[in-house]
Structure 1
């Protein structure tokens, strides 16, 4: 795992794209503050850039760096969540402009998975996390499910957990609105 972490951080710092295991499914990732890298992911996925992608972070204490005003209910949601939860926050800042949704929001998930947590700690910035598939296709739960086209398009493929067959699924998604309003988008 150590060599994977070292190489993945090098690739991210150079503006590259990685294919990596997350706390949910296999993902395509890059530096969430690098607009050129974010655009490459949209191109790889053949996805409209009006469809924003989420970012992974390892520590809720960093949330204030990327969200203008964190709704109070957000802290409770993060604290009580026992499964992967993506929260869409209003007022995104300090991230690549093409990563932020048209309404100014961004989806953020705090990972507890060992590899991504260590990767984020070493990289010291949020990382884009989007499913390792073309837009509209089924998400790749296992490494073997990822198309060769996706594998060829990235700059580094993490070896860690390629043989993992533990069933997993995409995260739940909640959107926070004005006055602490909560909208469940995916259970």
Structure 2
């Protein structure tokens, strides 16, 4: 049997990489073959930010409504950085989330966003004052948001993006930071002073 060096394994690997120690002899793996119960890597994966409708439909429980919403956001330039974004956006269960997880790859195309730090703001119910304090938007955009949500509550980010003509960067900044609940009541946005 080859004599092992007295250094800890990490130091030994460093010295081997530098050429100061010979490489360890190859060892034959005598462990038993994996059983059928062993978790197997998924045979297919999708890039969440570039997926086609057919790829989304491969996921168990991914409905046509979900596919439509995801494609609309993708066409609007919106990207996702984590599965929690999808779970919140699509309102999917934890178990479905775990079924999807091995098949999803989150490749960010461009600069990565910052993750949210606060609980989500309900864009359909938040007061105009809270909207003005929370969203760094121009007054005209906030007024349009309030007028549109009075007409009909927003359903999701894709609906918000389309109705307000929001740029992708603005929508990406809202992922995980907003939700779409009940219809609001109350006055319009007060003037900023």
Q: TM-score, normalised by structure 1?
A: 0.22
Q: TM-score, normalised by structure 2?
A: 0.22
Larger RCO (CA within 8 A; separation ≥ 6): 1
Higher strand share: 1
Higher helix share: 2
